[in-house]
Amino acid sequence: MLKDCGQDILIVSRDGFARLFEGVSVKLGVLSFACLLWIAGPQLEAQQNQQVPNAPGATEPAAPTPQPSTGSAGSMGLPGLLHGVTPGEGAPATSSSSGNGQAPQSGAATPSQTQPSQVPPPVIPAQGQGASSASYTIRTRVNFVLVPVTVKDKSGQLVPGLTWHDFQIYEDGVPQRISFFTEDPFPLSVAFVIDQSLSSDTMRKVNDALSALQGAFAPYDEVAVYTYASHVTQATGFTGAQSDRLAVTLGRIKSPGRYMEVPSNTGPMAEGPSINGHMVDPNVTPTHDGTFIGIIPKEVHTLNDAIFHAATDLAQRSKGRRRLIYVISDGKEQGSKVSYKEVVRYLLTNQIAVYGTLVGDSALPGLGFLDRFHIPMQMTDNILPKYTFATGGALDAEISRNAIERSFAKIAEQVRDQYTLGYNSHISVLDSRFRHIEVRVLRPNVTVLAKQGYYPTATPNN
């Protein structure tokens, strides 16, 4: 009976051990699963919260929390060992330790320490789609800045084949992340401004060269024509660059120019005709009661007004087009109602660049250089270089008719072979102050042509 009772007790004890073993197994399984979640949880959360470095609005990821090191196999610091390791690539290279044998401290990378491979590339449209993609990108943010850039080598030839890796762009000295890049040409909206106050011989060369203007532009470009001397006249609104309307307009605006006459106070040319000793027209006589009263008329060259008039029309053209003013002039400025500073501010606010062909005396090597210096209280002899430099354009000085014709094609080629960079400004658009722009190219012996800065607006620009 006791034996039977002992057997019963033994059987009960085996069942208890079985239930106990089963409960321990379940608890170990749950504990193991909880440990895995505890180990993998921070890494999954970090991956979900990770943002693109240097992107607008991105925050810097926090450093991983160190795991406690114990003797168990589940907490031997493996997450720390695997941190930063990519399968198939191994661990990243680390700097050498200091002389005392201590390893350098690790921490979260700052934006300035981010490796180039970690910075996302800019938006690069497919070949032939640069203009349409740029228009869409520009509409997304009002602080998006578009910067056309021309790169020339030391011989003055355009440098092709550059990528976004070759460029660096700074705004007010702060490096900006390039978020858009293309080398595709944009359709052009061109305001062609012709100076009709040129001397007669220079005007004749310009008139003969105008027939070559249309060949410099593509069919999808549009051109408007303006003329100026003492006032500004719009010859035609924007029309197709290859249209018959533009050809007729260029033939109709030809002007004889200004005759360079030297005032004479004596001789048969000193006064007008007379009848019985009395002047037929007393206004043409240089003397009155024996006193010389001849007046040399003051020259008027309203170049500032002409550029401003053309710029106000260009600012209304559709987005996605490259806006530029092409001036053919000797650069003289006198008598405009609008100042140079006002015109440049409007140009930079509306993304308009000024290009030009310099003719007349200002195109001569020696005299042209001296004409750039303005004497106070005197007429400005050549203001065009200031416009082109401020807006990122270019100026070509030519004298002969054939050279003027070639300059049309040369300038048009330079505009089409530009690189276009885009970035989102780190400064609020509510700050209306001028922002300086500097574009650098990581190539030796090159010249970079880009606008010197811009004024922000509350609406998207391109």
- The string of pLDDT tens digits covering residues 273-293 is 667 766 666 555 555 445 544
Query: Residues 116-129: what's their mean pLDDT?
Result: 68
Counting the structural domains of the chain, the total is: 2
Flag whether pLDDT at 225 surpasses 90.
yes
- Tens-digit pLDDT profile for residues 306-338: 999 999 999 999 878 999 999 999 999 989 999
The Cα-based distances of 248 to 151, 242, 244, 345 in angstroms read: 36, 11, 6, 34
Query: Residues 358-363: what's their mean pLDDT?
Result: 86
d(CA 312, CA 306): 10
Flag whether pLDDT at 111 surpasses 60.
no
In a domain? residue 83? no
The pLDDT score that the predictor gives to residue 269 is 53
Percent of the chain with pLDDT over 70: 59
In a domain? residue 5? yes
Flag whether pLDDT at 348 surpasses 80.
yes
Close Cβ partners of 392 (under 8 Å, ≥ 6 residues apart): 147, 148, 149, 150, 353, 449, 450, 451, 452
The residue among 45 and 416 whose pLDDT is bigger is 416
Which of 68-77, 164-173, 327-336, 392-401 bottoms out in mean pLDDT, i.e. has the lowest? Answer: 68-77
- Tens-digit pLDDT profile for residues 226-251: 999 999 999 999 999 999 999 999 99
Exposure string of 322-339, with b = 16+ CB inside 10 Å and e = fewer, is bbbbbbbbbbbbbbbebe
Query: Residues 143-170: what's their mean pLDDT?
Result: 93
Flag whether pLDDT at 439 surpasses 60.
yes
Summary mean pLDDT of the chain: 75
d(CA 225, CA 235): 5
The pLDDT score that the predictor gives to residue 283 is 56
In a domain? residue 424? no
The residue among 134 and 167 whose pLDDT is bigger is 167
d(CA 62, CA 274): 98
The pLDDT score that the predictor gives to residue 118 is 62
Residues, the chain: 462
- Tens-digit pLDDT profile for residues 362-402: 888 766 556 566 666 567 778 999 999 999 999 998 889 99
Q: At what angle do helices 401-416 and 200-209 cross, to 10 degrees?
A: 50
Q: Place 4 in a pLDDT band, splitting at 50, 70 and 90.
A: very low
The pLDDT score that the predictor gives to residue 437 is 95
In single-letter form, the type of residue at position 146 comes to: L
In a domain? residue 409? yes
Flag whether pLDDT at 357 surpasses 80.
yes
The domain in which residue 190 lies consists of 186-258+298-416
Flag whether pLDDT at 211 surpasses 70.
yes
| CATH code at position 224 | 3.40.50.410
In a domain? residue 348? yes
The pLDDT score that the predictor gives to residue 59 is 41
Q: Place 456 in a pLDDT band, splitting at 50, 70 and 90.
A: confident
The residue among 318 and 344 whose pLDDT is bigger is 344
Flag whether pLDDT at 265 surpasses 80.
no
In terms of Cα–Cα distance, which of 68, 64, 61 is closest to 83? 64
Q: Place 441 in a pLDDT band, splitting at 50, 70 and 90.
A: very high
* Exposed/middle/buried for residue 445 (C-beta within 10 Å: 0-12, 13-18, 19+): exposed
Which two tokens mark 449? 């042509």
* Exposed/middle/buried for residue 391 (C-beta within 10 Å: 0-12, 13-18, 19+): buried
Does the model's pTM come out above 0.75?
no
Which two tokens mark 66? 């160190």
In a domain? residue 147? no
Flag whether pLDDT at 444 surpasses 90.
yes
- Residue whose tokens read 């921490």: 107
Flag whether pLDDT at 9 surpasses 70.
no
The pLDDT score that the predictor gives to residue 136 is 42
- Tens-digit pLDDT profile for residues 249-264: 999 999 988 765 545 5
| Domain finish residue from 50, 69, 90 | 50
In a domain? residue 91? no
The pLDDT score that the predictor gives to residue 239 is 95
In a domain? residue 355? yes
| Domain finish residue from 378, 395, 416 | 416
